[in-house]
């Protein structure tokens, strides 16, 4: 399951972070690490971007970017 | 007496870690805002005296890391590397220790003297997080102190510690650094040894750090190594490439990714040791506020209300002080007219300097209010929500959600709007926003549209003006997409953005924000605008043809004579009428003279010289001259047209009639409106572009492309319109 496919209020654990070099590294640096648990807070009114809670802080990212993050059930 | 010791302190930290608040607490109002050399990143510097020390405090851009991901990170890293501050103070967000420590570990690797500040401990406590300060300090061998920036707690303590670190602190011991897995450490060691081997010529950077960065394929460090080592760099880089390949093959992933993960592993170990999470059920106030402010249904209406309120405050409330300033400028120029003897100097002071600078000074209230509102949005944390809401729309243009506010403000005035682009973190986003911002038709252009549309489109004027605004928006979208795919291509900035917790704004910080930016506007623009106004004045005044003046003087005397001689026996009534006729005739002559003088001036000559350029777009030389003077301020287009068409009455109607008589058609009027929408913005905007892009190249490009586009679009409108049979 991809993060971009998750629904509002769903919870999961990051299985893999993909994407191109710099972008992937940035996600890692922001704390999107394998094994981190993540909660989908909400989608913006226009369905993009989405807001997730990670380590107690709120981070938003675009749906196309969330499609690089593979999730598994909590 | 011993000289005071000078120390340079750099403040580093994540965005939203309270770095700026700490900076304000340390330096108070004694700060200088400018740009880092060569880039558009804001640089803040402040000075403070403490004991026997003079401290220069530099606020580095807020970053999550010290790689080369963004220009901000490069700026921050280069400052630490090249300027070697005496102490680097790392502001750590206590409520977000993992991510803060990621930057901290990188600072440690740089071998700088570091002091950690645990900020916002109160917020962490609310979240149920308690950090063992002493343990953190002993684990990392770095002094750690706590502050609550928002309440200005612990600032004196912080200064005391900074000085202590500067005087006594030594670099952290090697074993307290992040250790990577053996295979990576082996690679780092090989490269480090090579670097150390050539160290005879004093390699200026820490070899271990350089080796780590080379293994991470950091292009900036690679360039630095090549520069420092010359041809000795070759074999080292080859070895680095071999090590990278070896590591990639072993782990099936790039070394930089592995190292990022391992840094987080190291951090996780520390966090486990020093953080106690209490089981307090935390109430996330921010989350509750967001349930409303980014609500699916209410989010947008609330957002538009805030924007509307900001717009109203800036331009409606701002109109009052604006009127006072205008009045003041008028009084000043009246006073100067009285004091100075009439002639060239008076004309220069009144019509050149005062009028020119005054036309820019009137924007000050708008700028003060706008920046107050923006500071309020930023300090409370709402700006990130605005970006969250608008990103989808702005992304269509290739822009970031935060670009929305500058774009919208452009409809009021492009000067504060372009300055508002500072809120964008990414340099490319910022330049793109600045480049297309002038297409948001500012309020100064409206009176010109009103005049032209009113004269040539009568009851359809409203629709026509609306279509001009729409044309601006459409072209902004088109040009935005084009620039995004050509000039400003490259690493696409991901939107990954923190939505920081809402915070109550501090009045002091709001005031500092507002004043800093306004001061910059006044200072820097004052110079450019002063010079620009004088140049335009000179162009429209010289050459002062004495023959022309004499000719008119003779005409005037003749007229006086004709009015003076006649009818000695006339009634008082008739004399009065006669007087009025005389005044009217003299005024008409004066206007005729001004028009002739303008026509003869350099500006008039330029206008006529460029006549053939304007002809294909349906603008005559008078229109051309008006457009030139519009560079000072767009409203001036009207007064120049008035002067050149030598209209007798001051109303728009008189001018409209004169323009119709001169052969302008609705089509050429529409073409001219499009031209005014698109061509080089006013001098105040141009200097804002220069200031904000920090580059003459981008400024020249902005002027060039917008004016070219203006001509092309006007050409299509005029020629296309004629082909389609419009007049």
Tens of pLDDT, residue by residue over A12-42, are 999 999 887 778 888 888 889 888 999 999 9
| DSSP state letter for B617 | G
Cα B256–Cα B72–Cα B109 angle in degrees, nearest 5: 45
CB–CB of B638/B596 below 8 Å?
no
Shortest CA gap B494–chain A (Å):
7
Interface test mutation site (partner B, options A3, A60, A67, max chain B beta carbons within 10 A) = A60
CB–CB of B406/B51 below 8 Å?
no
Interface test mutation site (partner B, options A9, A38, A49, max chain B beta carbons within 10 A) = A49
User: A14 has which bridge partners?
Assistant: A71
| Closest by CA position to B656, among listed B667, B642, B643 | B642
Q: Which tokens sit at B317?
A: 């409330």
Largest Cα separation within chain A, whole Å, is 30
pLDDT digits (tens, 9 = 90+) for B156-200: 889 998 998 888 866 555 556 788 999 999 999 999 998 888 766
Cα distances (angstroms) measured from residue B373 to each of B36, B273, B528, B581: 25, 43, 27, 55
> What is residue B343's predicted lDDT score, i.e. its pLDDT?
79
Query: What's the order of all strands across the beta sheet hosting B497-499?
Result: A69-73, A11-17, A37-43, A50-54, A57-61, B497-499
Chain A positions touching B395 (Cβ under 8 A) are 48, 62
Q: For residue A44, give the nearest of B102, B391, B491 by CB distance.
A: B391
pLDDT digits (tens, 9 = 90+) for B407-456: 887 887 888 889 888 878 778 888 999 999 999 988 788 888 888 888 89
Chain B positions touching A48 (Cβ under 8 A) are 391-392, 395
Q: B58: pLDDT confidence band, cut at 50, 70 and 90?
A: very high
Q: How far apart are the first and last CA of chain A?
A: 12
Chain A positions touching B288 (Cβ under 8 A) are none
Q: Are the beta carbons of B99 and A57 separated by less than 8 Å?
A: yes
Q: Indicate if the alpha-carbon torsion angle A63, B15, B370, B630 is positive or negative.
A: negative
Please tell me if residue B346 touches chain A, with a CB cutoff of 8 Å: no
Q: Are the beta carbons of A28 and B264 separated by less than 8 Å?
A: yes
Query: What's the order of all strands across the beta sheet hosting B31-35?
Result: B31-35, B42-50, B53-59, B5-13, B87-93, B114-119, B144-147
Please tell me if residue B286 touches chain A, with a CB cutoff of 8 Å: yes
Q: B471: pLDDT confidence band, cut at 50, 70 and 90?
A: very high
Q: Which tokens sit at B425?
A: 């973190």
d(CA B284, CA B9): 35
Q: Indicate if the alpha-carbon torsion angle B613, B616, B619, B620 is positive or negative.
A: positive
| Closest by CA position to B256, among listed B212, B218, B216 | B216
Mean pLDDT of B504-522: 81
- Residue B544 — φ and ψ, nearest 5°? -85, 100
Q: B467: pLDDT confidence band, cut at 50, 70 and 90?
A: very high
| DSSP state letter for B441 | -
What domain range includes position A18? 3-73
Q: Which tokens sit at B457?
A: 């489109």
What percentage of chain B reaches a pLDDT higher than 70? 93
Chain A positions touching B299 (Cβ under 8 A) are 44-45
Q: Are the beta carbons of B388 and A49 separated by less than 8 Å?
A: yes
Mean pLDDT of B102-108: 89
Q: B302: pLDDT confidence band, cut at 50, 70 and 90?
A: very high
d(CA B212, CA B351): 63
Chain B positions touching A37 (Cβ under 8 A) are none
Please tell me if residue B388 touches chain A, with a CB cutoff of 8 Å: yes
Chain B positions touching A18 (Cβ under 8 A) are none
| Closest by CA position to B533, among listed B326, B353, B680, B330 | B353
User: B119 has which bridge partners?
Assistant: B93, B147
Give the burial string for B538-555 (b: 16+ CB within 10 Å, else e): ebbbeeeeeeeeeebeee
Interface test mutation site (partner B, options A14, A34, A36, A44, max chain B beta carbons within 10 A) = A44
d(CA B193, CA B178): 19
Please check the confidence at residue B530 and state whether its pLDDT lies above 90: no
Please check the confidence at residue B466 and state whether its pLDDT lies above 70: yes
Q: Are the beta carbons of A65 and B494 separated by less than 8 Å?
A: yes
Q: Are the beta carbons of A31 and B495 separated by less than 8 Å?
A: no
Chain A positions touching B99 (Cβ under 8 A) are 29-31, 55, 57
Cα distances (angstroms) measured from residue B269 to each of A32, B173, B249: 17, 18, 27
Q: Which tokens sit at B442?
A: 């500012």
Q: Which of B471-475, B564-568, B591-595 tops mean pLDDT? A: B471-475
3-state class percentages of chain A: helix first, strand second, coil last, to nearest 5: 20, 40, 40
CB–CB of B148/B120 below 8 Å?
yes
Mean pLDDT of B583-607: 82
> What is residue B649's predicted lDDT score, i.e. its pLDDT?
55
d(CA B490, CA B321): 44
Alpha helix (H) residue ranges in B198-318: 207-215, 219-229, 233-251, 255-274, 285-293, 299-312
> What is residue B1's predicted lDDT score, i.e. its pLDDT?
47
Q: Are the beta carbons of A30 and B99 separated by less than 8 Å?
A: yes
Binding-site residue numbers of B for Mg(2+) are 24, 27-28
Mean pLDDT of B82-109: 90
* CATH number where A48 lies: 2.30.30.90
Q: For residue B496, give the nearest of A27, A47, A57 by CB distance.
A: A27
Shortest CA gap A26–chain B (Å):
8
Residues 6+ apart with CB under 8 A from B186: none
- Our CA dihedral for A58, B80, B259, B230, rounded to 10 degrees, sits at 140
Shortest CA gap B205–chain A (Å):
24
Query: Which residue would you say has higher pLDDT here, B650 or B268?
Result: B268
Please state, rounded to an integer, the average pLDDT across all residues of chain B: 85
Largest Cα separation within chain B, whole Å, is 118
Chain B segment 77-96 residues within 8 A of A by beta carbon are: 95-96
> What is residue B151's predicted lDDT score, i.e. its pLDDT?
78
Residues 6+ apart with CB under 8 A from B429: B399, B400, B402, B403, B493
Q: Which tokens sit at B501?
A: 């917790």
Interface test mutation site (partner A, options B496, B500, B503, max chain A beta carbons within 10 A) = B496
Chain B positions touching A34 (Cβ under 8 A) are 261
Q: Are the beta carbons of B494 and A27 separated by less than 8 Å?
A: yes
Chain A positions touching B287 (Cβ under 8 A) are 41, 58
Cis status, amide bond into B543, omega within 30 of 0: yes
CB–CB of B105/B263 below 8 Å?
yes
Q: Are the beta carbons of B497 and A44 separated by less than 8 Å?
A: no
The ipTM estimated for the assembled molecules is: 0.95
User: B10 has which bridge partners?
Assistant: B58, B88
d(CA B645, CA B528): 30
> What is residue B176's predicted lDDT score, i.e. its pLDDT?
65
Chain B segment 447-476 residues within 8 A of A by beta carbon are: none
d(CA B541, CA B670): 30
Q: For residue A42, give the nearest of B96, B257, B294 by CB distance.
A: B294
| Closest by CA position to B498, among listed B127, B14, B73, B68 | B14
- Residue B284 — φ and ψ, nearest 5°? -90, 95
| Closest by CA position to B32, among listed B50, B12, B59 | B59
Q: B207: pLDDT confidence band, cut at 50, 70 and 90?
A: confident
Interface test mutation site (partner B, options A16, A40, A46, A68, max chain B beta carbons within 10 A) = A46
Chain B positions touching A57 (Cβ under 8 A) are 95-96, 99, 498
Chain A positions touching B389 (Cβ under 8 A) are 44-46
Give me the DSSP letters along B5-40. EEEEEEEEE-TTSSHHHHHHHHHTT-EEEEE-TTS-
Cα B553–Cα B554–Cα B559 angle in degrees, nearest 5: 95
Please tell me if residue B490 touches chain A, with a CB cutoff of 8 Å: no
d(CA B215, CA B237): 9
Q: For residue B495, give the nearest of A28, A42, A62 by CB distance.
A: A62
d(CA B707, CA B566): 56
Q: For residue A29, give the nearest of B102, B294, B501 by CB distance.
A: B102
- Residue B128 — φ and ψ, nearest 5°? 80, 25
Q: What's the domain count of chain A?
A: 1
Q: Are the beta carbons of A29 and B65 separated by less than 8 Å?
A: yes
> What is residue B299's predicted lDDT score, i.e. its pLDDT?
93
Residues 6+ apart with CB under 8 A from B80: B10, B12, B60, B88, B107, B110, B112
Cα distances (angstroms) measured from residue B8 to each of B197, B572, B576: 32, 84, 78
CB–CB of B62/B19 below 8 Å?
yes
Q: Strands B497-499 and A57-61, how do they pair?
A: antiparallel
Chain B positions touching A64 (Cβ under 8 A) are none
Chain B positions touching A66 (Cβ under 8 A) are none
Q: B346: pLDDT confidence band, cut at 50, 70 and 90?
A: confident
Shortest CA gap A6–chain B (Å):
17
Binding-site residue numbers of B for GTP are 13-20, 38-42, 59-62, 119-122
CB–CB of B104/B139 below 8 Å?
no
Mean pLDDT of B706-722: 95
Please check the confidence at residue B33 and state whether its pLDDT lies above 80: no
Q: Are the beta carbons of A30 and B491 separated by less than 8 Å?
A: no
Shortest CA gap A72–chain B (Å):
19
Binding-site residue numbers of B are 13-20, 24, 27-28, 38-42, 59-62, 119-122
Q: Which tokens sit at B648?
A: 């007798």
User: B277 has which bridge partners?
Assistant: B129
> What is residue A24's predicted lDDT score, i.e. its pLDDT?
86
> What is residue A15's predicted lDDT score, i.e. its pLDDT?
93
> What is residue B501's predicted lDDT score, i.e. its pLDDT?
87
Mean pLDDT of B97-114: 87
Please check the confidence at residue B574 and state whether its pLDDT lies above 90: no
Cα distances (angstroms) measured from residue B224 to each of B185, B205, B460, B522: 22, 9, 63, 38
d(CA B557, CA B548): 14
d(CA B250, CA B247): 5
Q: Which uninterrupted H or E stretch holds B351?
A: none
């Amino acid at each position: 399951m991809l993060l971009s496919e998750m629904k509002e209020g769903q919870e999961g654990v990051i299985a893999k972070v993909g994407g191109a070099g710099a972008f992937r590294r940035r996600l890692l640096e922001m704390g999107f690490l394998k094994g981190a648990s993540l909660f989908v807070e909400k989608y913006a009114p226009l369905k993009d971007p989405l807001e997730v809670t990670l380590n107690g802080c709120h981070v938003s990212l675009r749906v196309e970017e969330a499609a690089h993050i593979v999730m598994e059930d909590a | 007496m011993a000289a005071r010791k000078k120390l340079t302190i750099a403040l580093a930290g994540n965005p939203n870690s309270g770095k700026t608040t700490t900076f304000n607490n340390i330096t108070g109002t004694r700060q200088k805002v400018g740009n880092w050399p060569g880039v558009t990143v804001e640089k803040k510097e402040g000075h403070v005296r403490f004991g026997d020390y003079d401290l220069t405090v530099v606020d580095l851009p807020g970053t999550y890391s010290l790689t080369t991901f963004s220009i901000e990170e490069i700026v921050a890293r280069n400052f630490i590397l090249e300027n070697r501050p005496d102490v680097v103070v790392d502001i750590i967000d206590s409520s977000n220790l993992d991510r803060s420590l990621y930057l901290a570990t990188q600072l440690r690797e740089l071998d700088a003297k570091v002091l950690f500040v645990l900020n916002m401990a109160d917020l962490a406590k609310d979240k149920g997080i308690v950090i063992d300060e002493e343990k953190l300090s002993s684990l990392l061998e770095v002094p750690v102190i706590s502050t609550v920036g928002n309440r200005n707690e612990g600032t004196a303590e912080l200064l005391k510690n900074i000085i202590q670190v500067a005087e006594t602190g030594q670099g952290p011991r090697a074993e307290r650094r992040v250790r990577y897995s053996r295979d990576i450490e082996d690679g780092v060691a090989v490269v480090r040894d090579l670097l150390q081997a050539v160290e005879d010529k004093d390699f200026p950077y820490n070899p271990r750090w350089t080796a780590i960065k080379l293994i991470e394929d950091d292009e900036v460090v690679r360039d630095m190594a090549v520069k420092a080592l010359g041809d000795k760099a070759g074999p080292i880089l080859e070895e680095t490439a071999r090590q990278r390949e070896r590591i990639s093959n072993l782990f099936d992933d790039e070394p930089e990714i592995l190292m990022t993960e391992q840094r987080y592993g190291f951090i996780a170990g520390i966090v486990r040791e020093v953080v106690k999470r209490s089981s307090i059920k935390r109430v996330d106030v921010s989350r509750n506020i967001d349930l409303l402010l980014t609500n699916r249904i209410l989010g947008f209406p609330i957002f538009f209300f805030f924007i509307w309120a900001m717009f109203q405050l800036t331009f409606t409330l701002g109109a009052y002080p604006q009127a006072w300033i205008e009045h003041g400028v008028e009084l000043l120029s009246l006073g100067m007219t009285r004091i100075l003897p009439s002639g060239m100097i008076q004309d220069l002071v009144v019509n050149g300097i005062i009028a020119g600078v005054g036309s820019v000074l009137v924007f000050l209230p708008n700028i003060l209010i706008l920046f107050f509102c923006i500071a309020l949005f930023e300090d409370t944390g709402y700006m990130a929500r605005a970006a969250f809401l608008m990103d989808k729309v702005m992304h269509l243009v290739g822009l970031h959600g935060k670009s929305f506010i500058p774009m919208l403000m452009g409809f009021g005035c492009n000067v504060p709007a372009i300055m508002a682009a500072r809120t964008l973190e990414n340099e490319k986003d910022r330049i793109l926003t600045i480049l297309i911002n002038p297409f948001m038709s500012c309020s100064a252009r409206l009176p010109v549209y009103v005049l032209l549309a009113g004269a040539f489109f009568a009851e359809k004027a409203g629709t026509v003006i609306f279509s001009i605004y729409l044309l601006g928006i459409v072209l902004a979208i088109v040009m935005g997409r084009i620039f995004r795919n050509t000039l400003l291509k490259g690493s696409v900035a991901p939107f990954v953005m923190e939505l920081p917790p809402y915070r109550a704004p501090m009045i002091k910080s709001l005031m500092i924000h507002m004043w800093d930016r306004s001061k910059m506007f006044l200072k820097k623009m004052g110079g450019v605008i002063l010079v620009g106004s004088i140049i335009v004045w000179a162009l429209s005044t010289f050459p002062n043809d004495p023959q022309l003046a004499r000719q008119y003087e003779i005409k005037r005397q003749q007229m006086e004579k004709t009015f003076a001689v006649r009818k000695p026996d006339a009634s008082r009534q008739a004399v009065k009428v006669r007087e009025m006729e005389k005044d009217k005739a003299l005024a008409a002559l004066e206007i005729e003279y001004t028009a002739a003088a303008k026509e003869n001036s350099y500006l008039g000559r330029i206008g006529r010289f460029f006549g053939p350029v304007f002809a294909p777009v349906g603008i005559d030389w008078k229109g051309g001259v008006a457009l030139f003077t519009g560079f000072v301020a767009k409203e001036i287009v009207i007064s120049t047209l008035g002067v050149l068409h030598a209209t007798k009455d001051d109303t728009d109607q008189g001018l409209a009639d004169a323009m119709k008589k001169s052969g302008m058609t609705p089509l050429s009027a529409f073409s001219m409106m499009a031209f005014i929408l698109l061509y080089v913005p006013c001098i105040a905007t141009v200097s804002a572009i220069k200031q904000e892009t920090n580059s003459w190249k981008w400024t020249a490009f902005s002027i060039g492309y917008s004016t070219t586009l203006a001509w092309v679009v006007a050409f299509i409108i005029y020629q296309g319109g004629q082909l389609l049979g419009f007049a």
